[in-house]
Amino acid sequence: MIKIILTGGPHAGKTTLLGELKNKHPEYWYVPEPATIVIQNEQNKETEKPGYTGKFPWNNYAEFGKLVIAESLKLEATIPPEKEVVILDRSLVDTIGYARLNNCEFLLNDLISHAEQAHYSLAFFCRPVGLYAVSHVRKETEVQASQTEQFLKKAYEDMQITTIEIPAYGIQERCNHVDLLIQSALQQKK
């Protein structure tokens, strides 16, 4: 099994690329972005429980980070061992970068241990695409997004995970480029 992470700063097209890969390779196993699931869950709790204040990266990263770690472990535990290729939309290594960015070093010991035990094969670091725009989920400024990207790169370097930069091509060209890299990784594994 090879476990490939799609990573990069905000607005890098990771989720769009994941969608294209799913269409092209339904035989792979795909792990969705844990932080997005946690944000959706916390927003639902706010709606369902008046007075509840959700735990989000913009208001309580320490608690949000704990939820993301738990969701990551839960999602990765569902990976069938017989799958040859697993593609993750972010990983525990990203959470290391975000924990450092948000001054939550107390999360790191267990988090680093979990990331080491995950046995990630390599990471594709997607470069930002198009013009940066703030949204209901992406609340950081362009400067903060650039800083986030640097923290993520450092986390992958520190974990010594082979990282390949994916340029800001159009989606089809990007998907084809990643597809060739996956095929090469499979050949090297054999």
Q: 69: exposed, middle or buried (C-beta count within 10 Å: 0-12, 13-18, 19+)?
A: buried
Query: Is residue 190, in this structure, part of any structural domain at all?
Result: no
Query: Is residue 82, in this structure, part of any structural domain at all?
Result: yes
Comparing CA positions, the residue from 166, 171, 136, 135 lying closest to residue 149 is 166
The 10s digit of each residue's pLDDT in 33-77 is 999 999 999 999 999 999 999 999 999 999 999 999 999 999 999
Query: Is residue 6, in this structure, part of any structural domain at all?
Result: yes
What distance in Å separates the CA atoms of residue 67 and residue 147, rounded to the nearest whole number? 23
The mean pLDDT value of the chain amounts to 92
The answer to whether 97 touches 148, Cβ cutoff 8 Å, is: yes
Q: 144: exposed, middle or buried (C-beta count within 10 Å: 0-12, 13-18, 19+)?
A: middle
Determine the pLDDT at residue 140. 77
The answer to whether 4 touches 122, Cβ cutoff 8 Å, is: yes
Query: Is residue 122, in this structure, part of any structural domain at all?
Result: yes
What distance in Å separates the CA atoms of residue 168 and residue 155, rounded to the nearest whole number? 21
Query: Is residue 188, in this structure, part of any structural domain at all?
Result: no
Domain span at 25? 2-182
Q: How confident is the model at residue 131 (pLDDT cuts 50, 70, 90)?
A: low
With pLDDT > 70 as the criterion, what percentage of the chain qualifies? 95
What distance in Å separates the CA atoms of residue 175 and residue 14, rounded to the nearest whole number? 11
Q: Which residues pair with 4 in a beta bridge?
A: 87, 122
The 10s digit of each residue's pLDDT in 68-127 is 999 999 999 999 999 999 999 999 999 999 999 999 999 999 999 999 999 999 999 999
Residue corresponding to tokens 């932080």: 35
Q: How confident is the model at residue 165 (pLDDT cuts 50, 70, 90)?
A: very high
* CATH code for position 117: 3.40.50.300
Query: Is residue 94, in this structure, part of any structural domain at all?
Result: yes
User: Which residues, 6+ apart, have CB-to-CB distance to 7 below 8 Å?
Assistant: 14, 90, 91, 93, 94, 123, 124, 125, 126, 152, 156, 163
Query: Is residue 173, in this structure, part of any structural domain at all?
Result: yes
The vertex-116 CA angle with 113 and 92, nearest 5°, equals 80
Rounded mean pLDDT, 163-190: 91
Query: Is residue 8, in this structure, part of any structural domain at all?
Result: yes
Q: How confident is the model at residue 136 (pLDDT cuts 50, 70, 90)?
A: low
State the total domains in the chain. Answer: 1
